[in-house]
Amino acid sequence: MRKPVPLPDILDHGLVVVFVGINPSPLAAAMGHRFAGPSNRFWRVIHLAGFSPVLLRADQDRALPQYGCGLISAISRPTRRASELSRSELAAAGDALGAKIQRHRPKWIAFLGKGAYSAIMARRDIAWGHQNKTMGAAQVWVLPDPSGLNRQTLPQLVAAYGALRVAAAGDFAAFAVGDMDCPDGSVQI
């Protein structure tokens, strides 16, 4: 493995959904790609939920914008667990994240886990799903973290991510990505 370096944002102007992870794992940082760990279910979940017509691997992360999606981290410092990040570290990430979202103007941002969103927005009463606050002009959605450390099952993750895909369905019209019907709950997992 190579020495960890900050991971580049997978971002472009006018994307539909930008997924916001809390921070990369040491393995992801060393590999140069987010969600590179064998127990992380992100790539499988976004495929099964209808965000990509093919199952991408972590090393294909730069293909996400062609499907209307981006991927960034709130904090660049790698840790084994999000609990290793301080509240002040997460809160300080808010301004930079807000500026990035304002500059690139996605329609939706999806926080992967309640922790980052809670600290950045200085709120404790976070529910899963659509939030009543925006970041820039982007609608905010909170999704379960796809980490293998998360106890939610694959079908539960797919359902949660699929709800965002359904909510954002009309915004994907500008992206020619083939047959990407919204999930209807009959996905084979």
Q: pTM to 2 decimals? A: 0.88
Nearest to 116 by CA among 158, 156, 147, 75: 75
Two tokens, residue 49: 């939920």
Q: How far apart are CA 10 and CA 106, in angstroms?
A: 12
Distance (Å, rounded) from C-alpha 149 to C-alpha 135? 28
Q: Which helix (H) or strand (E) holds 119?
A: helix 114-121
Question: Is the pLDDT at 25 greater than 90, yes or no?
Answer: no
The rounded distance, in Å, linking the Cα atoms of 152 and 78 is 23
Average pLDDT, the chain: 87
Could you report how far apart the first and last alpha carbons of the chain are, in Å?
Answer: 31
Query: Which pLDDT tens digit goes with each residue over 152-187?
Result: 999 999 999 999 999 999 999 888 554 444 444 334
